[in-house]
Amino acid sequence: MKMIGLIGGMSWESSLEYYRIINEEVAAHFSRAGEGDLHSAEVVMVSLDFAPIERMQADGEWAAAADAIMRAGRQCVAAGADFLVLCTNTMHLVLPDIERRVGVPFLHIADAAASRVKAAHAQTVGLLGTRFTMEGDFYAGRLADHGLSVITPESSDREIVDRVIYEELVQGKLLEESRKEYRRIIASLVEAGAEGIIAGCTEIGLLVNQEDSAVPLFDTTRIHAEEAVRHALGSRA
As a residue count, the chain comes to 237
Active site residue 88: yes
Amino acid symbol at 90: T
Asked whether 87 and 8 are in contact (CB, 8 A), the reply is yes
Q: Is 221 a catalytic residue?
A: no
> How many other CB atoms sit within 10 Å of the CB of residue 15?
22
Dihedral (CA of 190, 196, 200, 201) sign: positive
Q: Which of 76, 90, 133, 201 is catalytic?
A: 201
Return d(Cα 189, Cα 143) in angstroms, integer. 17
Catalytic residue among 88, 130, 202, 220: 88
DSSP state at residue 212: G
Catalytic positions, please?
A: 88, 201
